[in-house]
Amino acid sequence: MDRLSTLQLFVRVLDLGSFTRAARELGLGQPAVSKQVAALEARLGTLLLERSSRGLRPTPAGQDLYGAAVRLVSDLEETENRVRGVSQCPGGVVRVAMPPTLGRMYVIPSLPAFFALYPEIAVEFSVADRRVDLVKEGVDVALRVGDLRPSALVARRIGSLQMIAVASPAYLAVHGTPRSVGDLSSHTLISGQIEGASVPWAFKVDEEVISIAATGRIRSNDGEDLRASVLADLGITYGPTALFRSDLKAGRLVEILKDDAPDPVPVHAVSAGGRKMAQRVRLFTDHLAATFAAEPSLRHAFQSGIDGMSGDGLPYRAARPTC
């Protein structure tokens, strides 16, 4: 097996999380796939995969190789299609998982511009408050807020969110305004949830990050529920500035603890990479990056291109097809 074929095999092993599944897809025996990966590790002189009872996990060297291999394979396929004269107008379905607030406020309103450029691409959304398994659930790209866990996924940072604490003037008139993070313990909190657990509230006090477990009297996994609850004078809540922007401007809500606001949290577009639908996923990710870059509330400490777990840090280089 040549070097390119070995890299393609390595990508599919990580995409599918299993030697057996990769072997089945590629029409090979499982021992042959394991042998090829072992030979790749021997040639490079480093361990690429950690094997355990819970499955496969890439080492740091494996993550670097995966990111580079994904781009190499994708670029080669696009070049071959161009040389053969295959249509450069991509089609098919891009399956996207995202938090409801980001989808409602930014992604869905941006679709007319994307569809105008790529009329043969369809988009299927899965709105959830949990971290989906991209490979098992057939998701092409997921939007994730916050720092990422180490994995073999390809992550592109497309923006940042500034988190703030807010309350209504009516609530503060009755219960008083917190002057310190510690004062929150005597107030009614309205907390967000992810996967059934309350989301911690982070603040930065004297350059030290403080995180509090905000188990609120009212809890929801939807930002709009949090917004409705705080507008109903039910307590104090915490979320991205963008969610409360119009209410802050109109005076319906007030930001509290401004001096203790945390650093912005990153927003990433995460994909499993690999060969399938690489161009359409890449084009949609580029579109998301452009959409978020044009929105001031998402540009806090913005960094373009790739970072996190994606290899050499180079931006995607998707050619714009003529449709």
All structural domains of the chain with their residue ranges: 3-84, 92-155+265-298, 163-260
Domain at 92-155+265-298, CATH from 2.60.40.10, 3.30.1490.20, 3.40.190.10, 3.30.70.140:
3.40.190.10
**Percentage of the residues of the chain whose pLDDT score is greater than 90:** 31
User: Quick check: 20 and 51 in contact, CB under 8 A?
Assistant: no
Quick: pLDDT tens for 84-119. 655 567 778 888 998 888 888 889 999 999 999 889
CA distances from 138 to 11, 34, 64, 151 (A): 16, 24, 23, 17
pLDDT the model gives residue 85: 59
In three-state form (DSSP H/G/I as H, E/B as E, the rest C), the secondary structure along 52-71 is ECCEEEECHHHHHHHHHHHH
Hey, do 92-155+265-298 and 163-260 end up sharing a CATH topology, with the first three levels equal? yes
> Is residue 277 pLDDT above 50, yes or no?
no
Are 235 and 208 contacting, i.e. CB atoms less than 8 angstroms apart?
no
**pTM for the complete prediction?**
0.64
How does the average pLDDT of the chain come out, rounded? Answer: 81
What is the CATH number that goes with domain 3-84? 1.10.10.10
Give φ, ψ of 221 to 5 degrees.
Answer: -95, 10
pLDDT at residue 39 greater than cutoff 60: yes
Q: Which residues of 93-120 are buried (b: 16+ CB within 10 A; e: fewer)?
A: ebbbbbbbbbbbbbbeebeeebeeebee
| Residues 163-260, CATH architecture | 3-Layer(aba) Sandwich (3.40)
The pLDDT tens digits for 231-275 are: 999 999 999 988 898 999 999 999 999 999 898 888 888 887 654
Looking up tokens 């074929």 gives 5
Beta bridge partners of 94: 123
